[in-house]
Amino acid sequence: MKTKNWCEFLMVLIFCVISANGIASTGHGSTAPKKVGILLVAFGSSEASAQVSFENIDKQVKAAYPDFPVRWAYTSHIIRAKLAKQGKNLDSPAVALAKMQDENFTHVAVQSLHTIGGEEYHDLRRIVGAFKIMGGFQKIILGYPLMSTQTDMERIVEAVLKSIPNSRKKNDAVVLMGHGTHHPSNAFYAALMFQLQLKDSNIFVGTVEGYPDAELIKELMLRKKIKRAYLMPFMSVAGDHAKNDMAGEESDSWKSIFSQSGIDCVPVLKGTAEYDDFVNIWVDHIRGPLSHFE
């Protein structure tokens, strides 16, 4: 975690220890009434147009689990700070969990809305683990991110195929832009491209900050003499990366890099969370933690 995040977390930790002691002292042998909640945790976005993705997730989760209150948290300190300046206050995961503890939730399903189990997801795991150790909740369990199992991968392949615009022709490429990370889980992107190409050899998966990168994807398309490519973000929201790194007019955007090599580009500015087939994977992952609360 970054220094600011650690400071924030330590403050919450002290609060939670005090709260946990208060809960424990409410009566010898007493058990608080069962109260189950869901905490949805995303990286976050300050782009107003990206909120449609989070609204769709929120709607689908509440429809699937109408009996459980839903709370939200953003892992990105930078995004939370930007939103605060706009008068929109989003909690960090640690603060959100502390508030849920103060609201007397006894069982919490924390659902990651990340695409892969990268650095942000593992930071979240540590936070959930700390709350588990403190004992303020009877049970707190973290759900898997989008790409976690082979079943997830198969569902994602089908979701990608369904999300491709109908105007795309057989010889046109489809390029998915993921975020990428230095974390070992970056390997999921290349694994996804392999499984997608078993269905459609003109679908490619690249990343902004990992492997495969834009230059490699460009070379792969040139080898196949591809003249047109649909560019689609493989991120939950079509935020800054999609608008600028993928579809922007700057010389280092994917659109510019591919266009300069003679490949006509058609950007599609829709995040994965705008498609129900992707959202349903996250929604189904919540059932894992909830099944342990019965």
**Active-site residue identified among 107, 114, 179, 285:** 179
Residues 6 or more apart whose CB falls under 8 angstroms from that of 253 comprise 244, 245, 246, 247
The span from the CA of 96 to the CA of 89, in Å, is 11
241 among known catalytic residues: no
The strand ranges marked E within the chain are: 36-42, 70-74, 107-112, 139-143, 173-178, 203-207, 228-233, 264-267
Q: Closest Cα partner for 116 from 174, 79, 72, 156? A: 156
User: Rounded CA gap, 141 and 108, in Å?
Assistant: 7
How far does CA 24 lie from the centroid of its chain? Answer: 35
Q: Catalytic positions, please?
A: 179
